[in-house]
Amino acid sequence: MSDYALQRLNMVESQVRPSDMTDRRVIRAMLALPRETFVPAEVRPVCYMDRDVPLSAAAEEKASVPRFLLAPRTQARLVQALELGDAAIVLDVGCATGYSSAILSRIAQTVVALDEDPQLTAIAAEALAAEEIDNVALVNGRLTDGYDSEGPYDAMLLNGAVADVPPELLDQLKDGGVLVAVAQVDGVRRAVQWRRTSGQFADRQLFDADAPVLPGFEAKSEFVF
């Protein structure tokens, strides 16, 4: 067994499986997918650690919104909370280098992977091709806009923390569709699930979860006299 394969097994057994994971499809996907393929070479030695992994040098510097690969246990539980069916069409918002899209591709029928950073989606395209994944469509665009032309969606994953979810994004869900993100709730970041039912949206808090903020989803600063 290679060193990365052993690290991957340890990641699943020590981080993912003990974290209230009941969807074996997510566990099987994370066991099969080489996480190191979806990160820049300089961070591969730490890509299986129980933390968010920086995806570029900018993440270590003073970028306005640095980008990360979510910590394994957070990523797994967010995907599980989508409650995906085999025929699901999923919008993966902030797909970055494509790891989340690759996980989703092994569960859902079709994944639309959206990001606004062309450097990250170039890595995603190469990694998805290397894994021979052909049910993911990579698209570039502003994350807060979603990707209406391929909707409506059965599920939507926001790969990071958000101050709020724009109504135009929720409107891209099918009736019965689910959106999952990390949101600020009473001063604490928690995973939250939104479900659309007959044009109405109900939200449900799931678990405590920290995550980096997604570009465009930052809290709006208020002007004070």
Q: Which residues are catalytic, by number?
A: 64
Single out the residue of 102, 126, 135, 98 nearest to residue 114, CA to CA. 98
- Bridge partners, 207 (sequence order): 191
Count the residues in the chain. 225
Single out the residue of 218, 217, 169, 216 nearest to residue 196, CA to CA. 169
β 153-162/53-54 pair status: unpaired
Distance CA 207, CA 225 (A): 37
Written as six digits, the tokens of 18 are: 């003990």
Please, are residues 123 and 58 in contact by the beta-carbon 8 Å criterion? Answer: no
